[in-house]
Amino acid sequence: MGRLAILDCSDCQRATFIPSQKLDELVDHERAAPNSKFVDFVCPHCGSGRRQPIESISTRETANEVQQVPIFNAFLKCSVKNCPAHVTVRTIAISRDQNAKPQKPLAQWKLDGIKCYEGHAVKTPLEMTDHTVT
């Protein structure tokens, strides 16, 4: 038994399932709005990235054991020069290896409404400064 969070993609209409517990680790907020929790998530099927408010993400019980999913956490540059914050987006990695690539390559990501901790837009073209696989 477990609980799955369902991240729907409004572009390709496909869903990504993540263990609910895992989702809790991916929640962010902006400095000015600590109570507005969200996940900045890139769809691993089409590369479309959107800010998904936590309250919009549905969950469901599953009778099966919940499969662990390797998360690719990408730290991207902010559009404001010298801004100390970066933009953190999450997607699915191809494996649990620390050097694993994201399922959809960065060059194919299309981000919409994703911002840094200070509320600035992400720099385009996207520039990744670091990443982790968790």
CA distance 25 to 22: 5
The reply to whether 83 sits near Zn ion by the rule CB under 5 A is yes
CA distance 2 to 8: 19
Q: What is the DSSP secondary structure assignment for residue 70, as one 8-state letter?
A: -
Among 22, 101, 120, 123, binds Zn ion (CB under 5 A): 120
The reply to whether 76 sits near Zn ion by the rule CB under 5 A is no
The reply to whether 112 sits near Zn ion by the rule CB under 5 A is no
The region of 27-35, 55-63, 73-81, 104-112 touching Zn ion under the rule CB under 5 A is 73-81
Give one word for 26, left, alpha or beta, with left for phi > 0 and alpha for psi -120 to 50: alpha
- Which of 22, 120 has the CB closer to Zn ion? 120
The reply to whether 111 sits near Zn ion by the rule CB under 5 A is no
Among 12, 108, 113, 124, binds Zn ion (CB under 5 A): 12
CA dihedral for 9, 71, 44, 85, sign (positive or negative): positive
Length of the chain: 134
The reply to whether 85 sits near Zn ion by the rule CB under 5 A is yes
